[in-house]
Amino acid sequence: MTRIDWWTAVGLDLSIDLANTAPDLDRPDLLLHPILQAGWRRRSGAPDEATADRLVDLRDSIRAVLVPVASGVALADPGLARGIAGLNRLAASAPTVPQIEDGELVYVARASPPDAFAAEVAAAALETAAGRRGRLRACARTGCGRLFVTTRARRTWCGDRCGTRARVARHRQTIDAPARRATQTG
């Protein structure tokens, strides 16, 4: 199983990782918190030239497509057309070409580092949206909503931590409910 780092959310694919830097109830915005941003950049390979503003814009473009797809919206849905066109444009802006360098085959983008990074993330988002759409989900725990990919049809939480918290919350509800009724009638 892919290990998901709770705080940095790097470990799936680059587009999901970037989408999951968004703030939630437990965690600040990873791209706007200096230390967390530095950690995320190191792990994701985002170049220094890609400013936080630019990464936030890129994240918005990706979430505009992946979040609806995770909830079952079809790729051909007119509501997604603008978002998909944006990702198509970004992915095409810095195509990679195969080159042999120092005896090794490498794929090189003929673009500035931030453009190449944006194109790589956009391409990953297109691949995820089209290739993994039946397995892409948003965590069902209130206040989380992090995206994840699963092969288990019934999996609804992004990780063990959310699963445990959701189960505890549900358990609390079932033991609180009769107690509240007793107070009202008593």
Residue ranges in contact with Zn ion by CB under 5 A: 139, 141, 144, 146, 158, 162
| 84 contacts 91 by C-beta, under 8 angstroms | no
Q: Which is nearer to Zn ion, 114 or 159 (CB)?
A: 159
Least distance CB 153 / Zn ion (angstroms)? 18
Least distance CB 154 / Zn ion (angstroms)? 15
- DSSP assignment letter at 135: T
Determine the distance from the C-alpha atom of residue 101 to the mean position of all C-alpha atoms in its chain, rounded to a whole number: 33
Q: Which is nearer to Zn ion, 123 or 144 (CB)?
A: 144
| 87 contacts 52 by C-beta, under 8 angstroms | no
- Cα–Cα separations (whole angstroms), residue 2 to 61, 105, 152, 176: 25, 27, 13, 36
| 110 contacts 94 by C-beta, under 8 angstroms | yes
Q: What 3-state DSSP class applies to 107? A: strand
Q: Which is nearer to Zn ion, 31 or 162 (CB)?
A: 162
Phi and psi angles of residue 5, each rounded to the nearest 5 degrees, phi first: -75, 120
Q: Which is nearer to Zn ion, 46 or 162 (CB)?
A: 162
Q: Which is nearer to Zn ion, 22 or 158 (CB)?
A: 158
Least distance CB 74 / Zn ion (angstroms)? 25
Least distance CB 61 / Zn ion (angstroms)? 22
Least distance CB 142 / Zn ion (angstroms)? 10
